[in-house]
Amino acid sequence: MLENLQWPEWVGIVEILILAAAIYYILFFFRGTRGAAVLSGLVIFFVATIFLTRLFDLDVLNWLVQRMLVYLAVALVVIFQPEIRRALAQLGRRSAFMNTGSNREVVDTVIQAAAMLSDRKIGALMAIEREIGTRAIQETGIRMDAHLTPELLASIFFPQTPLHDGGVVIAERRLAAAACLFPLSQREEISRKLGTRHRAAIGLTEETDTVVLVVSEETGVISVAYNGRLRRGLEEPQLRRVLNSLLRQRRRAGFRASAASDLAFDEDEEETGFSTE
C-alpha cells in the first residue's frame, strides 16, 4: 500500500504529521500556564463566531471576523509574550551537562541548607540554573561566584544580614549571585495564601527552566517550583527524589527533556498543579 503512494501523497502525509506534532507541542507547552485559558478562550470565541455567522448568514459579521483574523497574529505575540519568550529560550538553550556526582553534590548542599533554615523558620529562595541562562537575574543582585556550601547558603538568609532579601542563584555548582530579584508570577489561580517568595519562585520558572526551592518564613515548609508549578510540603526523601529527577534531565536535550522533567515533577499523585493550602 505504501509503495503505491505517489510523491504528492507523501508530501500530504508529511505535512499532516508536522502539523500534528506542532499542535501537540503547542498544547503541551501551554498546559498549566496563564496563556492556556487565554488561548482556549480565543479559539472558542473565533470558532463559535464563525460558525454562528455562517449558520445565520450574517455576512457583515462574518466579514469582520475574517478581517480580525488578519491581525490575530500580532495580538498573539503581545498576549503570549512571556510564553513565546520562554519557548524560544528553550529552543536556543545551550548544551549543558551535569554528571551524577555534581548533581548529588548540589542537591545535598541545597537540602542541608533548607533543613537548617526550615528548623528555624527562616525564609529562603534558592534557584538552581539548568540549560537556560540566568545572567539577567544574577545582575539584579550581588555577584558572588563562591564555593557552594550549606553553611554559606544558610547564613545568607539569616535576618539582618545584608544579602538576606531576595533569592540566590546557583549555577555550575557555584553560588553565582545573592539578593537577586525574581519576577513575580501574575497568575490569578495561585492561592492568595502564598507569599511573595512563592510567587517569585513560580514567576522565575515561568520564564526559565530553573528549579527553585522555597522555605516558608511562617511555617518552615519546603516547596519546589518548576515550569510554573509549585509543590509544597516536601519531606527530605521526597525533596531529594524530586531535585535529583529534575536536575538529571540536563543530560537529555530538546523536547524530550521538557517532557521528562514534567513527568518527574508530577510523579507523586498527591500534588496536581498549584497548592491551595
Grid coordinates representing 216 are 516558608
Q: What is the pLDDT of residues 15-46, one digit of tens each?
A: 888 888 887 777 776 665 556 667 777 778 88
pLDDT-derived band at 5 (thresholds 50, 70, 90) equals low
In a domain, 122, yes or no: yes
pTM, entire model: 0.65
In a domain, 132, yes or no: yes
Residues 131 and 246 in one domain: yes
Mention every residue, 6+ apart, whose C-beta is less than 8 A from residue 117.
Answer: 123, 124, 154, 157, 215, 220
| CA dist 241 → 4, 57, 139, 179, 244 (Å) | 52, 59, 31, 27, 5
Residues 156 and 204 in one domain: yes
Backbone φ/ψ region at 173: left (φ over 0), alpha (ψ -120 to 50), beta: left
In a domain, 143, yes or no: yes
Answer whether 233's CB lies under 8 Å from 195's CB: no
Residues 169 and 224 in one domain: yes
The last residue of a domain, from among 91, 116, 147: 91
Residues 117 and 37 in one domain: no
In a domain, 201, yes or no: yes
Residues 86 and 106 in one domain: no
Residues 80 and 135 in one domain: no
Question: How many helical (H) and strand (E) elements, i.e. helices and strands, does the chain have?
Answer: 11, 7
Q: What is the average per-residue pLDDT within 253-259?
A: 45
pLDDT (0 to 100) of residue 201: 95
pLDDT-derived band at 202 (thresholds 50, 70, 90) equals very high
- How high is the mean pLDDT of the chain? 79
The last residue of a domain, from among 91, 124, 146: 91
Residues 74 and 141 in one domain: no
pLDDT-derived band at 125 (thresholds 50, 70, 90) equals very high
Residues 72 and 127 in one domain: no
Which domain CATH number covers 165?
3.40.1700.10
Q: What is the average per-residue pLDDT within 77-91?
A: 69
Residues 133 and 215 in one domain: yes
d(CA 236, CA 239): 5
Q: How many domains does the structure of the chain reveal?
A: 2
Domain that holds residue 12: 2-91
pLDDT (0 to 100) of residue 234: 92
Residues 104 and 123 in one domain: yes
Grid coordinates representing 93 are 538553550
Instruction: Give long-range contacts, CB 8 A cutoff, 24+ apart: 263-271.
Output: 265/226, 265/227, 265/229, 265/231, 268/231, 268/238, 271/231, 271/232
In a domain, 270, yes or no: no
In a domain, 244, yes or no: yes
In a domain, 271, yes or no: no
In a domain, 117, yes or no: yes
222-226: strand order across its sheet = 142-147, 174-180, 167-171, 124-128, 211-215, 222-226, 229-231
The last residue of a domain, from among 91, 108, 132: 91
